[in-house]
Structure 1
Amino acid sequence: MSSAPASAPAPTHPPHEHYLSGILLASAGAIFFSAKAVVAKLLYREGIDAVTLLALRMLLATPVFLLVALWTSARSPRLSRRDLMRVGMLGVIGYYGSSMLDFIGLQYITAGLERLILFLTPSFVLLLGVFVFKRGVTGRQWLSMGFAYAGIVLVFSHDVSLGGANVVLGAGFVLAAAVLYAIYLLYSGELIQRVGTLRLVALAMSMSSILSIGQYLLLREPLSLIRQSAEVWTLSAINASLCTALPVFLTMFGVARAGAGNAAQAGMIGPISTLFLAWWILGEPLTAMQGVGTGLVLVGIYLLSTRRLPAITP
């Protein structure tokens, strides 16, 4: 008598405590990331510009990412020259270029609008996939983008009525930053499989640091960087640690414990926390129109999160 065929193993799920801790880690990462715009606004009040802000951020964050890059490289196969060049280009696009444009834009718009525009990154990944790789788009995905863009238009029109042409300029810079980061995400997928997420982020951030500091040395008087006030150094240390290095690892641990989709949904707290922090710390207005617009964006991203979402971290 032949034996009965073995049944397929039941799918495994992470223990509840791992799932819950993953959600909390991803939420904390999103909140710390979102605070970056608020800290940048405080730094601008100290009289520095975007070039100096980015140089200080990367100068103080570089030791962490260099150590992680060395640690992961020692435990992994050596990268080919082609892969190293691709990692370098992704660092130029995804962290240096995107961050530079983002910080320039933040000089002209509210922290809340900046975070909402950056939150459109997953939809830009989707659209670039359509035009570059000829991928299809489902009706649910079009609906999600409709909600998200309607929310952005609502918040944008509100801010334009208060800030005028400067808001248009700033929003344009941040929009370009989001597109650059979407390009980074789109082209990093294949490389992540070979390099590893942690190693790729550490190497790309290290490349961004070299460019950011080099840009400052070319455009500004080099010694002026160390002559910044104690307030600038303190805020820059917060920007580099709590708003840059820490949330990268919190988000990654959250993804490992709860899964990419669940971590992405937990990250939706980011725009809400930005609005609250900007109102509480910066005194930015918090109106019903902003609330409705933020809600529409979050609905759109939630609909899109039925697919795997990339983390939003420029």
Structure 2
Amino acid sequence: MENSIKHVAIQHHAITGGLLALLAAIGFSAKAILVKLAYAAHVDAITLLAVRMAFSVPVFLAVAVWTNTRKQQTALTVRDWFAVVALGLIGYYLASYLDFLGLQYISAGLERLILFLYPTMVVVLSAWLYRQSIKPREQFALLLSYAGIALVFVHDAGMRGNGISTGALLVFGSALAYAIYLIGANHTIARIGATRFTAYAMTVASGASIAQFAVTHPLNDLILNERVYYLGLAMAVFSTVLPAFLISAAMRRIGAGKTALIGAIGPVSTIYLAWVFLGERVSLTQIAGSALVLAGVLAISIQRSGR
């Protein structure tokens, strides 16, 4: 009887973790759709990013204050604070800014696939920084991923023409910034905790985004179409705050490998949502390229998680 109850509890834990990972993946994937819808209301990338972060920062500030009230917290050293600020600027501010810029030029589907390449970048950067060899299986997975991106890129270039190279490079830079953040964040997260680190780093990124708007735009530019504010609020809640904490909760329940596997629904979800809400066409070439990217990235993510 006791074993049966324990088995049911484990199953419940796994199902809950899977649902949390699924919701996080869909939330992240919806961001590109919301950005594209906001651009239709004639708002620029800097303003839209500032609106998104302005709606997000109260939550992250509240979480930061809450974590500080908990007992037995490790005090942050000067080095910790430097890491939080630097990684927040790279992994959340710069990555978001480049992504928003890139979405002005490329489809939501291509954007999500390029962002999904970040585990492959972690492999290459780690091999370069720590002088590690890339195993044959990982090399094959890298080849699959970038062949898939090339296929989707050529498909979109034939349909969209000018600007796609610029957009793809900007989003690639966003994924690279996030990969650098992941490599640098391990030690700091292990020391101060994932929730506290996320709250602090996102607060830094929010402040940088709002400061960039204040320096580059007059205050009158905040007089926007009401729709932009609704989309910015939705982006903050469903594509920023909730996924950031849902993904951590999912990993605690089912592990990084299974979370990565479920996260593969993200690019697929983006392509479907873009077809429904943006009218982006889906072709067999795009599906084939997406399948190659997903196969390659998942092979790398699961293998590294297992190690």
State TM-score, norm by structure 1: 0.92
| Alignment partner of 1:251 is 2:250 | no
Q: Is it true that 1:218 corresponds to 2:208 in the alignment? A: no
Alignment of 1:1-314 (within 5 A): 15-75=10-70, 76-225=73-222, 227-308=223-304
In 2, distance between residues paired with 1:23 and 1:103?
29
Q: Which residue is 2:4 aligned to?
A: none
Question: Residues 74 and 191 of structure 2 are in contact (CA less than 8 Å); yes or no, is this contact kept in structure 1?
Answer: no
Question: C-alpha distance in 1, partners of 2:74/2:219?
Answer: 37
2:68 and 2:84 map into 1 onto residues whose CA distance is 13
8 Å Cα contact 2:22-2:265 kept in structure 1 = yes
Contact 2:151 2:289 in 1 (8 A): yes
Deviates more, 1:278-287 or 1:215-224: 215-224
Query: Per-residue deviation at 1:14?
Result: 7.8
| 1:4 aligned residue | none
Partners of 1:44 and 1:229 in 2: CA distance: 11
| Separation of aligned partners in 2, 1:98 and 1:300 | 22
Cα deviation code 1:254-303 (max 9, x no counterpart): 11111111111110000000000000000011111110011111111221
What CA deviation, in whole Å up to 9, does each residue of 1:227-273 have, x standing for no partner?
22211111110011011101111111111111111111110000000
Q: Unaligned regions of 5+ residues in structure 2, if any? A: 1-6
Return the alpha-carbon distance in structure 1 between the equivalents of residues 133 and 195 of structure 2: 30
Q: Which runs of 5+ in 1 are unaligned?
A: 1-11, 310-314
Give 1:8's aligned residue.
none
Would the aligned equivalents of 1:123 and 1:145 in 2 still touch at CA under 8 Å? yes
In structure 2, do the counterparts of structure 1 residues 46 and 184 end up closer, same or farther at CA, with 3 Å as the change threshold?
same
- TM-superposed deviation, 1:136: 2.2
Give the conservation status (yes or no) of the 8 Å contact 1:14–1:258: no
2:68 partner amino acid: S
Q: Per the alignment, in what secondary structure is the counterpart of residue 81 of structure 2?
A: helix
| Inter-partner Cα distance in structure 1 for 2:208 and 2:261 | 32
- TM-score w.r.t. the length of structure 2 is 0.94
For the residues of structure 1 that align with 2:85 and 2:210, how far apart are their CA atoms?
Answer: 15
Once residues 77 and 111 of structure 2 are traced to their aligned partners in structure 1, the CA distance between those partners, rounded to angstroms, is: 37
1:14–1:297 CA distance, 2 compared to 1 (3 A): farther
Q: 1:245 to 1:87 in 2, by over 3 A?
A: same
Question: Structure 1 runs of 4+ off > 3 angstroms?
Answer: none
CA distance in 1, matches of 2:241, 2:228: 18
Higher percent of residues as helix: 2
